[in-house]
Amino acid sequence: MYAIIKHGSKQYRVSVGDELKLDRFEAEKKSNVELSEVLAINDKELKVGSPFIAGAKVILEVITHGKDKKVVIYKKRRRKDSKLKRGFRRQFTRVLVKDIQGA
């Protein structure tokens, strides 16, 4: 059994027991969070919402918050003596999928 959920502007395929790195959101460690933006559920047959399945939800447990490795953005324009170097570290929330409840 798996579900496709939407969090932020991204979509994830999740099963019970999976660990995910989602964009950071405010929640206490060891707390449960319910996501109701479920796009599809596959449990022997595929149910697809338009856009979401009414009554379906995925229960997540927050494990920790953190920062990813640094991503470097480097732009160079040839023969122009122009270059730009920037970087950032994405903040994330690591979660564990506890349960998938379909309608």
**Would the pLDDT of 103 be above 90?**
no
Query: CA–CA distance from 15 to each of 6, 37, 42, 66 (Å)?
Result: 14, 15, 10, 23
- Of the candidates 38, 6, 37, the one whose C-alpha atom is nearest the C-alpha of residue 22 is 6
Which pair of structure tokens corresponds to residue 37? 């933006």
32-57 confidence digits (pLDDT tens): 999 999 999 998 899 999 999 999 99
CA atoms within 13 A on the CB side of 56: 23
Residues 38 and 11: their CA atoms lie apart, in Å, by 9
Per-residue pLDDT at 102: 83
